[in-house]
A = this chain, B = another copy of it.
Amino acid sequence: MTAALELLELSGERFSATYRILGRAEAARAVAEEICVEQTVEFPRELISRGDIREGIIGRVDSVSEFDDRWCEVVVSFVAEVAGGELTQLLNALFGNTSLKTGVRLIDFELPDEMLSRIRGPRFGSRGVRELLGAFGRPLLCSALKPMGLSPRELADLAYGLASGGIDLVKDDHGLADQVFCPFEERVALCAAAVTRANRETGSRTLYLPNVTAPADRLVERALFAKASGAGGLLVAPGLVGFDAVRALADDDRVGLPILSHPALIGSFSVRADDGIGHGALYGLFARLTGADATIFPSYGGRFAFTEADCRDVIEKCRAPFGALAPILPVPAGGMSLERVPRLRAFYGDDAIFLIGGDLHRGPGTLVDNCRRFRALVSAG
């Protein structure tokens, strides 16, 4: 290796990651030491002659504590400069190569103020979304335009019905992209107009959120088209477009609309408790780093395998202090029904968005009747 000519000058500021590692303390510490190397120099420690790199760049195990019989909770910290001021490299430093290992799960992380101050985060957050809607002190309501296969005009009729019935956020189903049977621009123009018409008639302020999950070179273009058409927010799936693409969208002052994050494709990170990324870190903290204002995830008791503890983790990390990054709205979804709303409200509290899709289309009532019932269920204090 080349002789040390230029010593590193490092700030001493550190960010830290909490991992759950399978095994008792001694084994977990050994894995943690591997993470310190794997996530930084990725080079045999004994072959690094320079002390400033060994001490400054390689991560540091700050604590190892036995969590239960199977697991340890381990805190590893890294010098802020490793993340290089970019979300892409921050995610890489937190879990890049370690994602290829089994028995290690990223469950939390903390960033120093110096790093947090350079992240814009949610432009609206929970409070900002409520201000746009003029809706306070109750859960917000969301529904999706579906099923896929309907024409833009048919979806616009649904959007009108949902908005008329008092749904706060009417979003595209996340599978609506730019299919020939439902072209993006036609759909967005018609649905935005339908929601605007309903708002004019009812005096409410429902937002329409088209799905702008799109090829990398069209994402911002679609968002700008949506805004120009009168859309009030955007739906986007970071697993499909990339976490940093959502961040760039949220940071773009030409767009400036609330962002609802969809979990498509990233489920594999969270579904197995032994590896991957914890629910709160993934759907809560990552979402806030990308600048999402609300984050969809499958609620316990629906058609996915999330537990109450998983959902509580998401709620907590949507709301926890995180520098100046605004708290965001958790959006439990995935097979929710009207009859479960009171129990969900007891669990999630009032600072959440409840997303019900198919169940609003179930008779005997009309769609608008069912929306009104949904609204009544969250309005009664």
Contact = CB atoms under 8 A, between A and B. Distances in A.
Interface of A: 1-2, 5-6, 8-10, 34, 38-44, 47-48, 50, 52-53, 56-57, 81-82, 84-89, 91-93, 95-102, 144, 146-151, 153-154, 157-158, 173-175, 177-181, 213-217, 237, 239-245, 247-248, 263-272, 274-277, 298, 303-306, 334, 357-359, 361-362, 367
Given A44-B361, A97-B264, A245-B245, 17 more contacts: A2-B154, A5-B151, A34-B303, A40-B148, A41-B148, A42-B144, A43-B361, A47-B362, A84-B178, A92-B175, A92-B237, A93-B175, A98-B267, A216-B247, A241-B245, A242-B242, A242-B244
A142 B264 CA distance: 34
A303 B93 CA distance: 18
Contacts of A241: 88, 242, 244-245
A245 B216 contact: yes
Contacts of A6: 151, 153-154
A42 B175 contact: yes
B265 A154 contact: no
B358 A47 contact: yes
Contact of A267 (B81, B82, B93, B101): B101
B267 A97 contact: yes
Given A181-B8, A268-B269, A304-B101, A147 B48 contact: yes
A131 B18 CA distance: 46
Given A57-B149, A147-B42, A149-B57, A92 B263 contact: no
A153 B154 CA distance: 62
A91 B150 contact: no
A216 B86 CA distance: 10
A42 B356 CA distance: 12
Contacts of A88: 177, 213-215, 237, 240-241
A101 B263 CA distance: 12
A53 B8 contact: no
Nearest to A262: B96
B215 A86 contact: yes
Given A40-B175, A268-B268, A358-B44, A147 B53 contact: yes
B271 A275 contact: yes
A20 to B, nearest CB: 14
Contact of A305 (B39, B48, B86, B102): B102
Nearest to A298: B100
Contacts of A244: 215-216, 240-242
Residue with the highest number of chain B CB atoms closer than 10 Å, among A6, A102, A174, A177: A177
A278 to B, nearest CB: 11
Given A101-B267, A175-B96, A215-B88, A52 B154 contact: no
30 contacts: A2-B158, A6-B153, A39-B175, A43-B147, A44-B358, A47-B362, A82-B175, A85-B178, A86-B178, A86-B214, A88-B213, A88-B237, A88-B240, A89-B175, A89-B177, A89-B179, A91-B240, A92-B177, A96-B174, A96-B239, A99-B271, A100-B305, A216-B242, A216-B244, A216-B245, A216-B247, A217-B248, A240-B243, A241-B242, A245-B245
B265 A276 contact: no
Contacts of A298: 100
Contacts of A240: 88-89, 91-92, 96, 242-244
Contact of A92 (B57, B86, B174, B334): B174
A237 B149 contact: no
B271 A101 contact: yes
Contacts of A359: 44
